[in-house]
Structure formats: structure tokens, C-alpha cells
Structure 1
Amino acid sequence: MAIGIDGTPKGTQPSAVPGGRTRRDVARGLRTGALTAALAPLLAAFRAPERAPGRASFDRMHRGRRIQGVRTADGHWHVTLDGRPLHLMRRADGTWLSMVDHYCSYPTPLDAARAAADALAPGERLREAGTEPRHQHRGGRHGVRA
């Protein structure tokens, strides 16, 4: 007896269930659903917790530096690097940049803080708030003159 491509003897119709699908289609669907249900917790475990929406804070060590961040009530982030404030800005595309590494943008405030920590030399620290030197013009011509 010859066997057809669907596994049934040639010349016979595969047994169908209501809706016009074969038992094989139903079994395949059940296996796919079971596999999806089994893998969902595994995939969720690999999701980075600091990227989860709604996360309101983080406290991490990165290359010997302590990075802490808290989302304020107005949605801004207060981030410190080794206890000193790190100013972050949100870009129009939703990414973040820091004043230490302001040429690249990062998907989360934690990623921006990690990049800032990487940009600092060993032993170098952020300046205390309010101690930044003021920009001073020392002669020369500035601006456009008509």
C-alpha cells in the first residue's frame, strides 16, 4: 500500500475535525502552544530588570563605581555616580545622554550612567554640584558683525 505525503494511505482522505482541519494540524497547533507556554517563563527570566517599564529606581556597581538612580514624581531621573549627581538629558527619540558622555545616546538612564562611568579615568570623580568653572571670554572677537 502506498503512503501519501500526509501520512495516510493513498486514495483515502485524511480524517478531518470540525472546521476543515486535519488531526495533524490540530496536534501541531497544540504542540506549538505547549512549547510557547513552556518557553515564556524562560524568556521572561532573561529580560533585564532595569529595562522593565515602570521601574522606579536602580542601585548597581559598575567597574568599581556605584550608580544609583531614582525616578522622581514628574518622570525625571535623579542619578548619582559614586554619590555625586550625574546630569542626564532625555533626547527627542527617547534615548538618554549624560554630560560626561554627551556624544552618544543610550536606551536607558542606567546605560547612560554606565557609559559615563566608563568615560571617567581611574580615580577621577564627577565634580560637586555648583563647582563647575564658569566660561569666561578673554578678549578676541566673538559673534557676527554686520
Structure 2
Amino acid sequence: MTRSGTVRSWGSRLGTLVLVVLGGQVAFTALDFDPRLRDWALMATAGVVLLWLAFDALGVEDAPWDDPLAAYARPDAADDSVHHRVLTNHLAARDPGPALRNLLVDLARGRDPDLRDPELRALAESPARRLSATDIDRYLTRIETPRDHE
């Protein structure tokens, strides 16, 4: 709607409101209800505004959206279950194998193929050993920390 259309629309609405207020005042006075102009004008304004709001809300067309978005499916959900299983097996095993160490090294090589971080390089070159939760957290933090390329 253009600016002149908006002004025309609001002008007609204000004109209608003035007619409702004055017509109601005349009608209630003729019926000997002795209305107070200020109170009647406020009540009529509230009623008319609510009607306009309802008409404006009901007169809106449906949104022209396409199909709604499909539900998000995590592409790495299977990886999570594998990682969880490896971690659980490592922490519960009497003699843990190299699976968790290999997984951490693969994650590290995904970020830095040359393994320039000395601690991660030492992890890759060391034999399999039990890693504590603190060790695992430290290695993951080092893997996730962004490194500047030299």
C-alpha cells in the first residue's frame, strides 16, 4: 500500500470513528440516557479499534511459504554412538586397547594432518594405555583449540 493509500485508509477510519462517536452521542441523548461525551468516546474508540484489529487480522492472506523445513537429522548421529561405545569400552575395560587412542589421533589428524602439537604427536606415537577422564578432556581440548598455521 502506498503512502497516499495509507493516509486515505486511516482518514476513512478516523472519519468512521468520529461518525460513530457523534452518532452514538446524539442517539443516546435522544433516548434520554444522558451520556458523558468523554466516556462514550473512549468506549466507542476501544470497540471500533478492536473491530478494526479483528478485520485486519482476518483479512490477511496466507503466507506464501513453500513446504516447511524437514526435521533436522544430525548427519553424525551414527558417529556419536560409535564414539560413545569406544569411550565406554575404554573406561570399563580391564586392559584397554588402542581404539580410543586411535580415535583421538584420527580426530587430531582431521584438524592437523601433520600433528604439530607435541602432546598429540606423543599420543600418536605412544603405545596404548589407559586414559583417564582428565587425559581425554585435555586431548579433546587440544584438538578443538584452533592453531595458527606457521
- TM-score, normalising length from structure 2? 0.28
Higher strand share: 1
**Structure number, greater radius of gyration:** 2
- TM-score, normalising length from structure 1? 0.28
Higher helix share: 2
